Amino acid sequence: MGVVGAIVAIGSTIASVSQANEQRKIQKKQLEQQRQANEQALTRAEEEKQRSEQEYNRANRQNVDVESALDASKLSSKQGASGTLLTGNMGVNSEELDTSKNTLLGG
């Protein structure tokens, strides 16, 4: 009777281990499927975001006012010497542009 009990115990242990391995395989497969579904959902969300941004930009398209830019350019040219961020609003003094002097840069 002791031998029969040991055989039954070994048999049930083998069955339990086999079942646990099967459950582990199923769980691993389900986790992989979930990971793939998450990647697909992320891809779809990115595509939808781009599509909605394009629709928004298409709906709110702004046109360039070339005529007013040209008018502003013509107006500033009539005001005389103009400045830049580097020269200031007075422009460059023409006496400072004299290149006839012998300098280290001019040779």
- What Å distances lie between residue 101 and 14, 91, 106, CA to CA? 101, 21, 8
Taking the whole predicted model, whether its pTM rises above 0.75 is answered as: no
107 vs 31: which has the higher pLDDT:
31
pLDDT in tens, 84-99: 666 666 666 767 766 6
Instruction: Answer for the pair 81, 91: CB distance below 8 angstroms, yes or no.
Output: yes
pLDDT in tens, 25-65: 999 999 999 999 999 999 999 999 999 999 998 888 887 77
Q: Kindly tell me the number of DSSP H helices and DSSP E strands found in the chain.
A: 2, 0
Instruction: Show the DSSP H helices in 60-106 as ranges.
Output: 66-78
Domain edges within the chain? 29-57
